[in-house]
Amino acid sequence: MASVNYWIVLIVNAAYIITIISCIVVVLKENRNPIRSLAWVIALIFLPVVGLVFYLFFGRSLKGQHMISRHNKRKIISRMAPRHVNLSNIDLPVADKNLIKLSRALSYSFYTVNNHIDIFTTGNEKFNALKQDLRNAKKSIYLQYYIFSDDTTGQEIADILIRKARDGVDVKVIYDHVGSFSARSRFFKRMSEAGVETHPFFRVTFPQLANRINWRNHRKIVVIDGETGYLGGMNIADRYQNGTSEGIAWRDTHFRLQGDIVESLMYSFIVDWNFKNNPESIEYPPMAPVRFRNNTGMQLITSGPLDSWDNQALCFLKAISNATKSIYIQTPYFLPTDALQHALEAAALSKIDVRIMIPGKSDSRMLQYAGYSYVTQCLRAGIKVYLYNPGMLHAKGIIIDENLVIAGSTNFDYRSFENNFECSLMIYDKDVNRKMRDIFFNDIKPCTKLTFNTWHKRPIFQRILESIVRLVSPIL
């Protein structure tokens, strides 16, 4: 009996060691960011049990897979191409034209000019406009959110969707299965029974837990009748209007869109709907007529863990590197890649006005401490860093010089750049840039501006904690 137990223990240990070694080999063969790879190797070697579990859940790569068939990719390109503006016919700096080319190469992002945009900085503004547009829908409502809560705000939106579905409007809802996990199943069941088609993105069940939990759809997209769209940082939840139960106010930015750019939002939704669902369950509808002429220039840049490139990170890097006067960033989580950190430092050292605004109060202590570890080097390079004091800053945006704005669902962190399905607007317009600059400087008023000398004097235990958390920041 003892010999049997000995062999069982030996086999189990051997299998475990082989699994650990195999995972390390896979990490090394993927040729990822060296720091990220090193973080996984250290975790697997020195925390073998915990490291293995975390790797199985959060470490594997999806790159090389496809969200959309080549046939459908060609179909989208052929339908969007007529709206694409010839760059030789527009008055934009060469740097912006090169950014447009990069965005198109990465995610088939067509540059359009026949657009109109409204900017919302409070949940009340956004949800009042959204509910009115939903009530006025005549043909279709495509709605996609990372978090669709079953609180008061969520119930109000659900009630409108149910009424529109009963009126014969085609209503489809995508919600992230992890982001919306707190919503009770009967919340979505009530909508489904009323005729609303609901689809949990990457549904996580126990057999698929390790395969899917790490890759989440963080997009917030609404398309109404193919003519009006919404995109930004606000999910469907009470806290975006009323703050949290702890009394923390929520500051975010969202956009209402009309014009050619709405086609891009619609195609993004359709690709997500057809992915891992019922392929070809939504056809690509004909394009809506042009309603605006020669207004705001825009592109939609999408990204996800299946893409061959880190689309958002590359566009951010290109835009920051192109800056000649100013770079203003708002983000709830500041965990830049090495390339982005170096680009910001190089810009500041070149006497470009670089300002970064992050929350003074965060909904994630770990991410907050990890982000703080990057602040010292920013301050040393001359980057101005501000802590937003009134509440949780959840707005995501980059304002470059006087002509470019990048904003959407993408945070300035590894998760958004590599693991999440994200989308951002690339807005090439001086008027929108001016409005976003005004919003940024209005938000600065209640902020605390950090100084190198004061920041360097924070408690030693806090600095040690920040450094420890930073070690695993590439895999947070």
Catalytic, 29? Answer no
Catalytic, 401? Answer yes
C-alpha span between 215 and 376 (Å, rounded): 31
Catalytic, 394? Answer yes
Catalytic, 150? Answer no
**Angstrom distances, CA of residue 107 to CA of 110, 307, 320:** 9, 9, 19
Catalytic, 73? Answer no
The residue from 218, 307, 413, 429 that is catalytic is: 218
The residue from 159, 170, 225, 353 that is catalytic is: 225
Catalytic, 318? Answer no
The residue from 220, 307, 310, 429 that is catalytic is: 220
The residue from 133, 401, 413, 429 that is catalytic is: 401
The residue from 396, 413, 429, 443 that is catalytic is: 396
The residue from 164, 177, 254, 394 that is catalytic is: 394
* Residues known to be catalytic: 218, 220, 225, 394, 396, 401
